[in-house]
A and B are shown apart, each in its own frame.
Chain A
Amino acid sequence: MRENEHHEHKANQHDHHDPAEDLSLPERPLDLAEVRANLQSKSGKQYWRTLEELSEDPNFTEMLHREFPRQAPSEWDESVDRRDFLKLMAASLAFAGLSGCGRTPEQHIVPYVKQPDGLVLGKPQYYATAMPFGADAIGLLVESHEGRPTKIEGNPDHPSSLGATNVFAQASILNLYDPDRAQTATQYGEIRTWSQFLDAAQSLAAAFKATQGEGFRILTGTITSPTLAAQIQSLLTVYPLAKWHQWEPAVSDGAREGAKLAFGNYVNTVYRPENAEVILSLDSDFLGSGPGHIRYAREFSHRRKLDQFAEDRRIGDEMNRLYVVEPTPSVTGASADHRLPLRASEIQLFARALASKLGLGGSPALPPNAEKFLNAVAKNLQRFPRNSLVIAGEHQPAEVHALVHAINAALGNVGTTLYYTGPVEAHPVNHIESLRQLCADIEANKVDTLLILGVNPVYTAPHDFDFASKIGFNEKTKSKKVRTTIHVSSHFDETSELCDWHVAESHYLETWGDARCFDGTVSVVQPLIAPLYHTHSHREVLAAFSDQPGVTDYDALRDRLKAANPSADFEKFWRKTLHDGVVAGSPFAPINVSPKFDPASLPAVKVGSPNEIEFIFRPDPCVYDGRFANNGWLQELPKPVTKLTWDNAALVSPKTAEQLDLAHNVAWRGGEHGKIYSNVVDISLSNSKVTAAAWILPGQADGVVVLPLGYGRKRAGYTGTNKGFNAYVVRTSDALWAATASSNAVKRTGEDYPLACTQYHFNMEGRQILATGTLEEYRKNPNFANKHAEAPPPELSLYKGEKEYPYEKMQNRWAMAIDLNSCNGCNACVIACQSENNIAVVGKDQVMRGREMHWIRIDRYYKAESPTNDPSTYNESLDNPETFFQPVPCQQCENAPCEQVCPVGATVHSAEGLNDMTYNRCVGTRYCSNNCPYKVRRFNFLRFQDWETPQFKLLRNPEVTVRSRGVMEKCTYCVQRISNARIEAEKLNQPIADGAIVTACEQACPTQAIVFGNANDKNSRVAKLREQQRNYSILAELNARPRTTYLAAVRNPNPELEKT
């Protein structure tokens, strides 16, 4: 689908000189000649953008506010020609729109005068790029319509993606079009042009030259981009006394320090779950988060596919086995065959005991009731030397990581199920120490200029650092500790407020760059659109302090690649790299290290007494560390396990809730599917206090309170401000991930807070909805999933005309099969669907009324015998329930109950078996939704779509109708993609090949749990899956004959641990 010949075009598109520079006229009154020159310099495609760019310029807007441009007479004298004058007037009219009460600006639509070669209007193009994220980069293919990116997909050639994505990558397209983005540079809140900033930076640079950069500090997050790192290094060589600090709030130093402890230096670990028969995760969410998790999920699921007809028994009827020990349920824990909830601090005990059990010495002391589990795990691991894998959690301390390195080495796993490489980070440091150093230096007045790139320390730094006071203006002393502070970020946030300068940061889809992913592979970050506003990349800002501020990202990247790859034909190499999205041969080679460290040498662990409460901090599964707080898709995305939206909550186990006397209360409006009132608690921790809503979460370790980070933003934008509570407020530098306090640290305030929960009811009520079994059961009877569900025979039909629609004889019979054994509930499909199908965000209030619009939802069920379906009434079956996920799109029933009751025939069946929805015909009786047994239909109760905001018009997929108020909508198996594939196939006069149609959800799925295709093609993947005996349909007894079928979930429990 990708046309590499366009990369030239893309490339050229980007070395135009920055328009803003034409307007950089600090003091001089703007005169018309320059504007004219500037307007003329613009041509074709960019013209409409130019209007906005101009509108940013204070002088120009100021001029337009006059009825006629300043010195109009003189202008007349030099006989301005009519065209230009009209251009100006047109511009001013356009601004009248721009500035007018949030209405759509009148945009000038300019057709291609000279059509870019290869671009066919209406035909999307795909470009390879990558999304840098922490110590990883996710390889992407981005769909572009007439030069605007609309949909993000995974890059199959990229090691960290393999064609799949995660929620952050999928939702990042919305960040690009976020109307709240910072759009220009500012100084003290005043709009400044880029060149004004350049002048300021250069004058600072001149001063540093003298002082060797003393007092010049750079604060960044984790950086894996070689080009950017090179830029920083070059600055540090020019200014030897300058310092580079790093602070990544949601990534622990444990892994880094653990490696140092074990091997003596920083080492990066790459896992190969594919080769592991037994996996033990010590609080690691390797399937759901952290570097490489998308690939790990894929590899892990390979060993759980259970293909009945495979010759290879290893895939046929054998599975790997996953043990998870964790304090709070993660998607990894939900996929586990055995799960043991332990406090975060007890996990180290467990690791030590395991080490000693494997004969590595150290204390065998165990947390209570972990004995049996430990023995079973140890035996199981030892049974598979070289094919077992132990993974330590990101948020576990260095000791645990060191122990795990030792254990893996002892089990001989290094080389098969994991290998070590050099660090992926350009400059690995201990972040918290680095930040502590910076704060100390600021206190000691050693810092003169602070350049903050991307991160938001005022919001994320531990509260004992009190970062705001470090850079803020002190009212008492009437002074600032740091003379100049410069903040570069996509939004004008909490930190920007306190900084002198703020430079708007470009989105990764707007800039050239590169980044390393979890295994060291270098991916090229390729822009799909010229910056929408006056935004700039980190590297450009850094370059502003260097000798050549003018160098573009494009050139910098090419130069670095040229240097790194002195190949004969660089252009060829360059084009291949852009096409593939990865630099060939860049992955790190495994290095040979052996742990030189003795578990016995570790100091004793201090474990909080059982009556103490342990508070642990975790990045939120939807807004991460807060950087996605203004992303409506992610805010409205139900969190994988809790199914909460728009809020974070202090998570507690049912038993702890009982002790603390916390409860839920289902509201009447929305009810189980919407609004849940939860008790509000005051949490006093490390002499700070935060007020949070408590949420009772089955499967969490007792005595643990989880405080998800990333919420309670004070300045995030329209969507993200003041949602949830800010856990950073009670987070200190010495207890970044876990802190213990006495149980009276949590106090009920007596108030209740409404939380928007899309699924409160966790019990299946004994219905044939999510079929599960054990590997033993499966081997005995592969058909176990269908033993309850008996579809009535066709003869029972009132009509003898049953066979009137011979789907089997059609060329195509569309069907979808979802493997519940692979799905880990990661939600990627939900956002992918939202992005592909222009699905509206409805907001917390509407979600609480049960009106969210997601076309595919992921149901979460517990195997719990709790008589009440309310976690707030304690029942021991809720202590550690088995958890299952089930994605539910439209089931595309052949006997669709919805179709029969529609009075106007707005939903009818296509010959190929799709349950089509005709929005224009729908009058909105909602009868179809009432009659849908799966409740997959979604109704526009109000006008949910935002029709005004111009940015969102760019965002939308032009091939999918944007629904308005009063019509029903639902999943269509991405019918627009089916049609595209059909057109292509008919052009070639061939049948549609299997895999030519990939639905959005299928495309995004890291574990390939969703497979779509033609059930009439015996060789299609979907047909093969439908032949599996695990294959069943939900509520088959209703005789709706769904086209979407499921493959039963099979768990592989250890007989020794089987509950009796």
Chain B
Amino acid sequence: MMRHRSHIYGVMGEFSTPEELIHAVEKVREAGYRRVNAYSPFPVEGLSEALGLKRNMVPLITLLGGLSGGVGGFALQYWCAAITYPMNIAGRPLNSWPAFIPVTFELTILGAALSAVFGMLALNKLPQPHHPVFNVPRFTHASSDRFFVCIEARDPKFHLAEAARLLEQVHAHHVTEVSDD
């Protein structure tokens, strides 16, 4: 059970309800652990707060993407219609700005949406086919009906036995060590 401790990612405890999960996370953080992460089959309300996660960057990225899409969109149209190849179309002025609004709008949305999705994936470092937590056999339940808390070995306070004990104290069903390979 205590073999090659050097290659340990952390200790994982399994819970069956969101309530237990949140309770466990709170206890673990009270115990002073900071490198803690939780895994759940669906977003659990209050979990982020319990883990003390800060506001994330996705909204800002989206805003920037949207702005560049919109500005770029109008710039493209203006450049095409009025600068690089100006042509008399139906007697309308070269810069028929009202006619350029729809495309500008669409490109704003497109820019924002793309940056939202790819921003989120990038921040989450996805795609990432392998991760140590997958070494835990019962972790497959993380995607259906079980909830997990993982105290990571990177935590300065980390000590395998204590961490495991702590998780048992908060009534984890199973406690397993997560090997790091």
Contact, chains A and B (beta carbon distance below 8 A): yes
- Which positions in A face B, CB cutoff 8 Å? 798-799, 801-802, 804-805, 893-900, 902, 905, 908-911, 1041
Contact B98 A798 (CB under 8 A): yes
Q: How far is the CB of B106 from chain A (nearest CB, A)?
A: 15
Q: How far is the CB of A480 from chain B (nearest CB, A)?
A: 71
On chain B, the residues within 8 Å of A898 by CB distance are 90
Q: How far is the CB of B3 from chain A (nearest CB, A)?
A: 69
In this complex, the member of B87, B89, B91 whose beta carbon has the largest number of chain A beta carbons within 10 angstroms is B91
Q: How far is the CA of A898 from the CA of B90 in the complex (A)?
A: 8
- Residue B94 CB within 8 A of the other chain: yes
Contact A895 B91 (CB under 8 A): yes
Contact B89 A799 (CB under 8 A): no
Contact B94 A804 (CB under 8 A): yes
Partner of B88, one of A799, A805, A897, A1041: A805
Contact B87 A799 (CB under 8 A): no
B 74-115 binary contact with A (CB < 8 Å = 1; else 0): 000000000000011111111110100000000000000000
Q: How far is the CA of A902 from the CA of B90 in the complex (A)?
A: 10
On chain A, the residues within 8 Å of B91 by CB distance are 802, 804-805, 894-896, 909, 1041
Q: How far is the CB of B60 from chain A (nearest CB, A)?
A: 36
Contact B90 A896 (CB under 8 A): yes
**What secondary structure prevails in chain B residues at the interface with A?**
loop
On chain B, the residues within 8 Å of A801 by CB distance are 92-95
On chain B, the residues within 8 Å of A893 by CB distance are 90
B98's closest neighbor in chain A, by CB? A798
**What secondary structure prevails in chain A residues at the interface with B?**
loop
Q: How far is the CA of A893 from the CA of B89 in the complex (A)?
A: 11
Q: How far is the CA of A894 from the CA of B90 in the complex (A)?
A: 6
On chain A, the residues within 8 Å of B87 by CB distance are 905, 908-909
Partner of B90, one of A798, A909, A910, A911: A909
Contact A897 B90 (CB under 8 A): yes
Q: How far is the CA of A805 from the CA of B86 in the complex (A)?
A: 12
Contact B88 A911 (CB under 8 A): yes
Q: How far is the CA of A902 from the CA of B87 in the complex (A)?
A: 13
Q: Other than the known A899-B90, A909-B89, A909-B91, what 18 A-B pairs have Cβ atoms closer than 8 Å? A: A798-B98, A801-B93, A801-B94, A801-B95, A802-B91, A804-B91, A804-B93, A804-B94, A805-B88, A805-B91, A895-B92, A897-B90, A900-B89, A900-B90, A902-B89, A908-B89, A910-B88, A1041-B91
Q: How far is the CA of A902 from the CA of B99 in the complex (A)?
A: 13
Q: How far is the CA of A897 from the CA of B92 in the complex (A)?
A: 11
Contact B92 A905 (CB under 8 A): no
Q: How far is the CB of A917 from chain B (nearest CB, A)?
A: 13
A901's closest neighbor in chain B, by CB? B90
On chain A, the residues within 8 Å of B95 by CB distance are 801
- Which positions in B face A, CB cutoff 8 Å? 87-96, 98
Q: How far is the CA of A802 from the CA of B96 in the complex (A)?
A: 11
Partner of B93, one of A799, A897, A910: A799
B88's closest neighbor in chain A, by CB? A909
Q: How far is the CA of A799 from the CA of B94 in the complex (A)?
A: 10
Q: How far is the CA of A905 from the CA of B91 in the complex (A)?
A: 13
In this complex, the member of B88, B89, B90, B92 whose beta carbon has the largest number of chain A beta carbons within 10 angstroms is B90
On chain A, the residues within 8 Å of B89 by CB distance are 899-900, 902, 905, 908-909
Q: How far is the CA of A799 from the CA of B90 in the complex (A)?
A: 12
B95's closest neighbor in chain A, by CB? A801
Q: How far is the CA of A101 from the CA of B96 in the complex (A)?
A: 55
A895's closest neighbor in chain B, by CB? B91
On chain A, the residues within 8 Å of B90 by CB distance are 893, 895-900, 909
**A799-B93, A801-B93, A804-B93 known; A908+B98 contact, CB < 8 A:** no
On chain A, the residues within 8 Å of B94 by CB distance are 801, 804
B80's closest neighbor in chain A, by CB? A905
Q: How far is the CA of A896 from the CA of B89 in the complex (A)?
A: 8
On chain A, the residues within 8 Å of B96 by CB distance are 799
Contact A900 B92 (CB under 8 A): yes
Q: How far is the CA of A910 from the CA of B88 in the complex (A)?
A: 7
On chain B, the residues within 8 Å of A896 by CB distance are 90-91
On chain A, the residues within 8 Å of B92 by CB distance are 799, 801, 895, 900
Q: How far is the CB of B82 from chain A (nearest CB, A)?
A: 11
A-B pairs with lowest CB-CB distance, top 7: A801-B93, A900-B90, A909-B88, A899-B90, A895-B91, A908-B87, A804-B93
Q: How far is the CB of A914 from chain B (nearest CB, A)?
A: 10
On chain B, the residues within 8 Å of A909 by CB distance are 87-91
Q: How far is the CA of A899 from the CA of B87 in the complex (A)?
A: 11
Q: How far is the CB of A936 from chain B (nearest CB, A)?
A: 16
On chain A, the residues within 8 Å of B93 by CB distance are 799, 801-802, 804
Q: How far is the CB of A784 from chain B (nearest CB, A)?
A: 29
Can you list 11 residue pairs at the A/B interface with Cβ under 8 Å?
A798-B98, A799-B92, A802-B91, A802-B93, A804-B93, A894-B91, A896-B91, A897-B90, A908-B88, A910-B88, A1041-B91
In this complex, the member of B89, B95, B98 whose beta carbon has the largest number of chain A beta carbons within 10 angstroms is B89
A905's closest neighbor in chain B, by CB? B87
A902's closest neighbor in chain B, by CB? B89
A805's closest neighbor in chain B, by CB? B88
On chain B, the residues within 8 Å of A894 by CB distance are 91
Q: How far is the CB of A487 from chain B (nearest CB, A)?
A: 59
B91's closest neighbor in chain A, by CB? A895
Q: How far is the CB of B166 from chain A (nearest CB, A)?
A: 66
On chain A, the residues within 8 Å of B98 by CB distance are 798
A1039's closest neighbor in chain B, by CB? B91
On chain B, the residues within 8 Å of A910 by CB distance are 88
On chain B, the residues within 8 Å of A802 by CB distance are 91, 93
A910's closest neighbor in chain B, by CB? B88
On chain B, the residues within 8 Å of A895 by CB distance are 90-92
On chain B, the residues within 8 Å of A911 by CB distance are 88
Q: How far is the CB of A805 from chain B (nearest CB, A)?
A: 5
Q: How far is the CB of B112 from chain A (nearest CB, A)?
A: 25
A898's closest neighbor in chain B, by CB? B90
In this complex, the member of A801, A893, A894, A910 whose beta carbon has the largest number of chain B beta carbons within 10 angstroms is A801
On chain B, the residues within 8 Å of A1041 by CB distance are 91
On chain A, the residues within 8 Å of B88 by CB distance are 805, 908-911
On chain B, the residues within 8 Å of A897 by CB distance are 90
Q: How far is the CA of A203 from the CA of B96 in the complex (A)?
A: 84
A915's closest neighbor in chain B, by CB? B90
Q: How far is the CA of A804 from the CA of B87 in the complex (A)?
A: 11
Q: How far is the CB of B172 from chain A (nearest CB, A)?
A: 63
On chain B, the residues within 8 Å of A805 by CB distance are 88, 91
Q: How far is the CA of A804 from the CA of B92 in the complex (A)?
A: 8
Q: How far is the CA of A911 from the CA of B88 in the complex (A)?
A: 8
Q: How far is the CB of B95 from chain A (nearest CB, A)?
A: 8
Q: How far is the CA of A895 from the CA of B90 in the complex (A)?
A: 4
Q: How far is the CB of B85 from chain A (nearest CB, A)?
A: 8
In this complex, the member of B93, B94, B96 whose beta carbon has the largest number of chain A beta carbons within 10 angstroms is B93
Q: How far is the CA of A900 from the CA of B87 in the complex (A)?
A: 11
On chain B, the residues within 8 Å of A798 by CB distance are 98
Q: How far is the CB of B147 from chain A (nearest CB, A)?
A: 54
A908's closest neighbor in chain B, by CB? B87
Q: How far is the CA of A802 from the CA of B88 in the complex (A)?
A: 11
B89's closest neighbor in chain A, by CB? A899
B94's closest neighbor in chain A, by CB? A804
Q: How far is the CB of A117 from chain B (nearest CB, A)?
A: 44
Q: How far is the CB of A957 from chain B (nearest CB, A)?
A: 27
Q: How far is the CB of B74 from chain A (nearest CB, A)?
A: 17
Q: How far is the CB of B57 from chain A (nearest CB, A)?
A: 38
B85's closest neighbor in chain A, by CB? A905
Q: How far is the CA of A969 from the CA of B89 in the complex (A)?
A: 17
On chain B, the residues within 8 Å of A902 by CB distance are 89
Q: How far is the CA of A801 from the CA of B91 in the complex (A)?
A: 9
Q: How far is the CB of B79 from chain A (nearest CB, A)?
A: 14
Q: How far is the CA of A1041 from the CA of B90 in the complex (A)?
A: 10
Q: How far is the CA of A805 from the CA of B94 in the complex (A)?
A: 10
Q: How far is the CA of A895 from the CA of B91 in the complex (A)?
A: 5
Q: How far is the CB of A443 from chain B (nearest CB, A)?
A: 73
Q: How far is the CB of A856 from chain B (nearest CB, A)?
A: 22
Q: How far is the CB of B154 from chain A (nearest CB, A)?
A: 57
Q: How far is the CA of A911 from the CA of B90 in the complex (A)?
A: 12
Q: How far is the CA of A799 from the CA of B91 in the complex (A)?
A: 10
